[in-house]
Amino acid sequence: VAQSKTEISVWGVGTPRTMRVHWILQELNLSYQTNPIQSRSGETQTAEYTQLNPKQKIPFIVDGAFSLSESLAILRYIDQKFGQNGDMNRAHTDAMKAASDEWCAFALSELDATTLYVIRRHKDLKDIYGDAPNVVQSAQEYFERMANSALPALEAAPHYLISDKLDVADIMLTTCIEWAQFYEVPLPSTYLDYYNIVAERPSYKNAFEYNYGFASQ
Ligand SMILES: N[C@@H](CCC(=O)N[C@@H](CS)C(=O)NCC(=O)O)C(=O)O
């Protein structure tokens, strides 16, 4: 498939959050530039980068005069602007939009921010945030509880979460499952079956190789 040229530059590789951005760009066959700065390498703290993104975080994109942080906002922006370029879910009734938001909010707030990132902060990054094995343990248990709570919804999902086509919600959930697997958090088999289907997509494989080829999370 021929790639469409864009002016997009992406900052960041090597984490499940940066994976989201590389994946949607591959999914939509978009050409883009990468500045492969990595988490906790000091590269997010330079004066030059801080001027671009005062949050000192990755991922971050620049598209011409426009720039954007936050992985979910970046996914929505790229899907909105370039979605016609690929084969992602475009049929968005109000109910589908809401269901997509519901999955995205669940992935971002329950799985990513309050569990997986907490595990990262108090395990891999314990020198910065404090060594807290009890917090890590409790976050793992919370992850399992939350994953189980969404099991009926996942079981009822039509192939992908929202339709028979990949949606931004699938990118959010799949990258959280990928991240949980890095941490060896036990997952119900329905999640693993779902992950294995999604991970078969060439765009996922290409993005994975590219994103983690620079460094492992
Ligand atoms: N809510 C943000 C989180 C971004 C974030 O925390 N990124 C981490 C790496 S995954 C980061 O850049 N940390 C600072 C650093 O590593 O220098 C998003 O979803 O994009």
Ligand 1 in reach of 176 Cβ (< 6 A): no
Backbone angles phi, psi at 3, to 5 degrees: -85, 145
Q: Is the pLDDT of residue 215 over 80?
A: no
Report pLDDT for 1.
65
CA of 204 to the centre of ligand 1 (A): 20
Q: Is the pLDDT of residue 2 over 80?
A: no
Q: Say which residues have a Cβ less than 8 Å from residue 187's Cβ, sequence separation at least 6.
A: 144, 147, 177, 180, 181, 195
Q: Is the pLDDT of residue 217 over 60?
A: no
Average pLDDT over all residues of the chain: 95
Distance from C-alpha of 6 to C-alpha of 161, rounded to nearest angstrom: 28
Mutate to test the pocket of ligand 1, among 13, 17, 115, 179 (most ligand atoms within 8 A of CB): 17
pTM of the model: 0.96
Ligand 1 in reach of 121 Cβ (< 6 A): no
Phi-psi sector, 174: left (phi>0), alpha (psi -120 to 50), beta: alpha
Q: What is the dihedral of CA 205, 103, 161, 188, to 10 degrees?
A: 80
From 115, 171, 117, 183, select the one nearest 147 (Cα to Cα).
115
CA of 15 to the centre of ligand 1 (A): 8
Mean pLDDT (whole number) for 30-38: 97
Protein residue with its CA nearest to atom 13 in ligand 1: 57
Backbone angles phi, psi at 160, to 5 degrees: -90, 180
Protein residue with its CA nearest to atom 14 in ligand 1: 57
pLDDT digits (tens, 9 = 90+) for 81-115: 999 999 999 978 999 999 999 999 999 999 999 99
